[in-house]
Structure 1
Amino acid sequence: MPETLPGTAREIRLAEVSSGLPGPEHLIVAEVPLPVPGAGEVLVRNRWFQVFPSLRTLIAGGVPGTPFPPLRPGDTLFGPAVGEVVTAPHNDDPRPGDLVAHFQGWREYAVVPASAPLGDSLPDPAAHLAPGATAYAALTRIAGLRAGETVLVTGGAGGLGSLAGQIARLLGAARVIGTTGSSAKAERMIAELGYDAVVLRDGSPIGGRLAETAPEGVDVVVDTVGGEQLQAAVAVARPGARLVVVGTLATQLSAASGGTTAPVELDAFQLIAKNVTLRGLVGVDDETRAEWTERFGSWLRSGAATFPHTRISGIDNAPRALRELFEGRHVGTVVVEL
């Protein structure tokens, strides 16, 4: 018997743009008619969706040239999601019951283009929301990490950073150093996430402590933070070091920042004298993503890697999950489970 579907569904919308960090008071849970798929589309019931820090930038007006449009009051939030197909065209993939990945999170039901089902490439379907493909691309495609090198990951307890440390270790890094703002997170980073040492961000300048922790310098940097931490990374870079900038958490998570710019002053003399490569990374190509998924699945099954994340249950709690992400309460990826 065909499944009886509800006539309405809930989604999270932006109610107003805040002057600082957005929180539950700036979002609403709206009840809307169940969406109807058109030609070449499927209706999915979302099972999990990711809460990611770049929503701050999108709510603040976005940045020209980046892949995602800004969010305006009345818009439904969006982001990576995994959903179960409930209605689909006949004789094509995916079929009802299949899981698919898409970018229409923050809602109970979504209409998305028909795509290949996820299958069993990862033992936990929610792990498709891990931002590890970006960390993997930064280390393999951009930095070209070589066995025996020293790696620095800023923001090492975040969604991306909690995977970058593990990946660097599995790719043969001799030493992996991270930064974080919490001693409890630092303990987990060393015990569980592949880090040899962690530099705490405690309000005082971080450069001196990073230099003490890496007296011989670093070869590769995966920077998720920007600001002072990127400055410090340049200062400890070894000759020929490769720095990959993948995030700007220093400004995205600051109530004092507008959220759409991330200025930082770097010493160009150091970049020149050390022959340092500095490159940004946005987006991952399909070939790299497929390679990452295959390796991640193998690492998860063998126990060589974990998917650090926090699951928050229910769409009604999604606005709170966003605030907790901005407050840095969790280690790893923040996932809302429906």
Structure 2
Amino acid sequence: MDNTTSTQILLASRPAGWPSEENFEVRTVELPAMADGQVRVRNEFISVDPYMRGRMNDTRSYVAPYQIGERIAGGAVGRVVASAAQQLPVGTLVTHQHGWSDTVQAAAETFTPVPEIPGVPSSLRLHMMGMTGLTAWVGLTVVAGMKEGDTVFISGAAGAVGTAAGQIARLLGAKRVIGSAGSPEKVELLTQKYGYDAAFNYKDGDVAGQLAAMAPEGIDVFFDNVGGEHLEAALGAFNDGGRAALCGAISSYNTTQAPVGPRNMANLITRGLKLQGFTLSNYLQHAPEFGQRMGQWFTEGKIAYDETIVDGIENTVEAFIAMMQGANTGKMLVRI
């Protein structure tokens, strides 16, 4: 293991439609001598996430786009292997947003030390016990205001956020939890492992019809990771006063034409619905409460999870594209 060099994945060009290997560059660089206050971290896992596709476009969003020739930033967890900062000694487990590289060197303030929990792999800090789980918690409890007895529909339910959201909804007392996924195997996983009362394969078509069959009394909360046809279906299934937390719209991330909006937006008026988009950066104050609740649920054995792991920094782009195509169950990670 060489901790004096860093292999990094850079954005070489902006994708038009689906990203490809040609849009990225793999580069290995020598790391300079550490300055006071810096640490060097060897990553254990790095995250590939749907939102990264949006940052590859040079358009206005809630966060600045990636720049050509710069490393892809994002979540990672690793261990300090060299330190010139007293607060982060060698051996400390940390999370950070420096992204796609095997080794990173930067100011200690840009890393967050995290406690190690016996029997809990460090990778969980990038999903169920990290930003992914917090996203699910915030969307359900803060944005959508889920209440005990609500019927909850979650799109993209077999992904990292969806598997967290379904379990949290169940633990918070949802009357019925319904999910959509992209294969029969994932549908079965949702009902057999993740506590969903019902689930359907959206690739079978007629999302609205399938949802209506599984929620004959309507839905109260919609947690949306997909957008498009799923959002239209939810608008049709909502009970009066329904609430939606709009977390993602992966169905349109790789389109080259403007997507067609839902055709039943008038239901917002006639049923008194609330649709609210959110990004996690505006809700980080809820992290302590989430951490306490999720830690308790883990201790009590109430949380299940799946990881789809690709080995090797050189395979990061392959993992990212596969995740965008729905190849993952649970969280997609790259193990260094």
Query: Are positions 1:111 and 2:105 aligned together?
Result: yes
**Residue aligned with 1:60, SS:** coil
Task: Please give the alpha-carbon distance, in whole angstroms, between the structure 1 residues aligned to 2:39 and 2:155.
Answer: 39
CA contact (8 A) 2:45 2:333 kept: yes
**Residue aligned with 1:160, SS:** helix
Query: Are positions 1:82 and 2:77 aligned together?
Result: yes
- Give 1:128's aligned residue: 125
Q: Mark the CA change 1:97 to 1:219 in structure 2 (over 3 Å): closer, same or farther.
A: same
Q: CA deviation at 1:110?
A: 1.3
Number of residue pairs the alignment of both structures matches: 328
* Cα root mean square deviation, aligned: 2.1
More displaced, 94-103 or 34-43?
34-43
- Give 1:28's aligned residue: 25
**Residue aligned with 1:10, SS:** strand
Q: CA deviation at 1:35?
A: 4.9
Q: Mark the CA change 1:116 to 1:54 in structure 2 (over 3 Å): closer, same or farther.
A: closer
- Give 2:210's aligned residue: 209
Note the 1:290-301 alignment, pairs <5 A.
290-301=288-299
Q: CA deviation at 1:297?
A: 2.4
Q: Mark the CA change 1:36 to 1:105 in structure 2 (over 3 Å): closer, same or farther.
A: farther
Task: Please give the alpha-carbon distance, in whole angstroms, between the structure 2 residues aligned to 1:180 and 1:289.
Answer: 28
Q: CA deviation at 1:98?
A: 0.3
Q: 2:285 aligns with which of 263, 287, 300?
A: 287
TM-score scaled by length of structure 2? 0.91
Query: Are positions 1:64 and 2:60 aligned together?
Result: yes
- Give 1:11's aligned residue: 8
CA contact (8 A) 1:102 1:112 kept: no
- Give 2:228's aligned residue: 227
Larger RCO: 1 or 2 (CA < 8 Å, sep 6+): 1
- Give 2:327's aligned residue: 329
The residue type paired with residue 88 of structure 2 is P
Q: Mark the CA change 1:59 to 1:217 in structure 2 (over 3 Å): closer, same or farther.
A: same
The residue type paired with residue 48 of structure 2 is V
Query: Are positions 1:198 and 2:199 aligned together?
Result: yes
CA contact (8 A) 2:319 2:332 kept: yes
CA contact (8 A) 1:48 1:81 kept: yes
- Give 2:270's aligned residue: 273
The residue type paired with residue 120 of structure 1 is E
TM-score scaled by length of structure 1? 0.90
- Give 1:310's aligned residue: 308
Where do 5+ consecutive residues of structure 1 fail to align?
A: none
Q: What percentage of aligned pairs have identical amino acids?
A: 33
Task: Please give the alpha-carbon distance, in whole angstroms, between the structure 1 residues aligned to 2:263 and 2:136.
Answer: 23
